[in-house]
Structure 1
Amino acid sequence: MEIRTAKLTDVEQIQKLINGFAEEGLMLARSRHMLCEHIREFKVYEDDGEIKGVGSLHILWDDLAEIRALAIDKNYQRKGLGRMIVESLLQEAKELGVPKAFTLTYQPEFFARLGFQSVNKDELPQKVWQECLYCIKFPNCDENALLIDVNKKDGELTPPGKTVF
């Protein structure tokens, strides 16, 4: 499986994949405008011309990034694709010098298996919430916040209950 940087020609398929899960209440929808504007943040997995997995690394500032918009086609789930996309995004964060990454998710168990630690959303800096103002769930966000130290040793998963920051 090869993960690549998304292209503008992928936007329609990315939107269809993400918004399909959003319709089920499993993640937040993304507009075509948002996807075009942030296309450089996205990594995708393509199989036979179809986008089957996607995720994004959104840099907030020099010490924090967000892993967001992670969606894996249902026929490709539980095959390591989500892990590969997240690891690719974390590697990019590491290369850019961003020491921490967080996610807001309805799937906290998945991210915990990758070494993310649950945190109270109130612990995240206020700047994180600038986009939340436009969310249909604001101010009653029911997503789970998790954080990871991007500089942990390669392949090292954090044992449950151990804090890495």
Structure 2
Amino acid sequence: MIRKAKMSDVFQMKELINSYATEGCMLPRSLDSLFTNIRDFVIMEHDGKVIGCCGVHPDWEDLGEVVSFAVSKPFTRQGNGSLLLDACIEDAKTVGLGKLFVLTSSPDFFKKKGFEEIKREELPWKIWADCVNCSKYPDCNSISLIKDI
């Protein structure tokens, strides 16, 4: 089941996201960040447990960023990531976003979903505010992709 995230999901979301962050696959999230941005997220639930999450953070005009996209390892490669991303895209449309971008070290998944690689410099400068606080800055290995929705 996929639904909008609730405050009661935050601890499980943090655990899932940070399990990937410890592997260097994504940025960690604090409880404060997740509680503050809860409206940005949808989650996938199985037997009452959060097994996936994905957020869309509006960044500029009609542009949003896909953030903290994670699926619990026992549930990967089964189409769950696609369903979760599709739900995020639909959620993004409801607030009037026309484009989504993602910074990722796994571009193939997003390319299969219609995202196209772009130069990071083509994105608005506003997105760099998060980059400067990243532990990988300035030696980022993320690939920038964008999609019209």
Q: TM-score under structure 1 normalisation?
A: 0.87
2:84 is aligned to 85
> What is the alpha-carbon distance in structure 2 between the residues aligned to residue 149 and residue 135 of structure 1?
26
1:124 is aligned to 123
> What is the alpha-carbon distance in structure 2 between the residues aligned to residue 63 and residue 5 of structure 1?
21
> What is the alpha-carbon distance in structure 1 between the residues aligned to residue 32 and residue 21 of structure 2?
16
**Match status 1:136 vs 2:99:** no
Which ranges in structure 1 are unaligned for 5 or more consecutive residues?
151-165
* Larger-Rg structure: 1
Following TM superposition, by how much is the alpha carbon of 1:139 offset from its aligned partner in structure 2, in angstroms? 1.7
1:149 is aligned to 148
Residues 72-121 of structure 1: per-residue CA shift (max 9 Å, x gap): 00110011111111111111222222111100011100000000001111
The aligned length equals 149
2:3 is aligned to 4
Q: Alignment RMSD, CA only? A: 0.9
> What is the alpha-carbon distance in structure 2 between the residues aligned to residue 14 and residue 77 of structure 1?
16
2:39 is aligned to 40
> What is the alpha-carbon distance in structure 1 between the residues aligned to residue 53 and residue 91 of structure 2?
15
Following TM superposition, by how much is the alpha carbon of 1:28 offset from its aligned partner in structure 2, in angstroms? 1.0
1:154 is aligned to none
> What is the alpha-carbon distance in structure 2 between the residues aligned to residue 93 and residue 62 of structure 1?
12
The alignment partner of 2:132 has SS state of: helix
**Match status 1:14 vs 2:10:** no
Which ranges in structure 2 are unaligned for 5 or more consecutive residues?
none
> What is the alpha-carbon distance in structure 2 between the residues aligned to residue 93 and residue 36 of structure 1?
19
The alignment partner of 1:10 has SS state of: helix
> What is the alpha-carbon distance in structure 2 between the residues aligned to residue 62 and residue 3 of structure 1?
27
> What is the alpha-carbon distance in structure 2 between the residues aligned to residue 69 and residue 25 of structure 1?
13
> What is the alpha-carbon distance in structure 2 between the residues aligned to residue 66 and residue 7 of structure 1?
20
Residues 53-79 of structure 1: per-residue CA shift (max 9 Å, x gap): 000010012210001100000110011
CA contact 2:60–2:124 (8 Å) conserved in 1: no
What is the aligned-residue identity percentage? Answer: 40
The alignment partner of 1:134 has SS state of: coil
CA contact 1:52–1:72 (8 Å) conserved in 2: yes
> What is the alpha-carbon distance in structure 1 between the residues aligned to residue 92 and residue 6 of structure 2?
19
After alignment, is 128-137 or 66-75 more displaced?
Answer: 128-137
CA contact 2:43–2:53 (8 Å) conserved in 1: yes
Question: Where has structure 1 moved over 4 Å in runs of 4 or more?
Answer: none
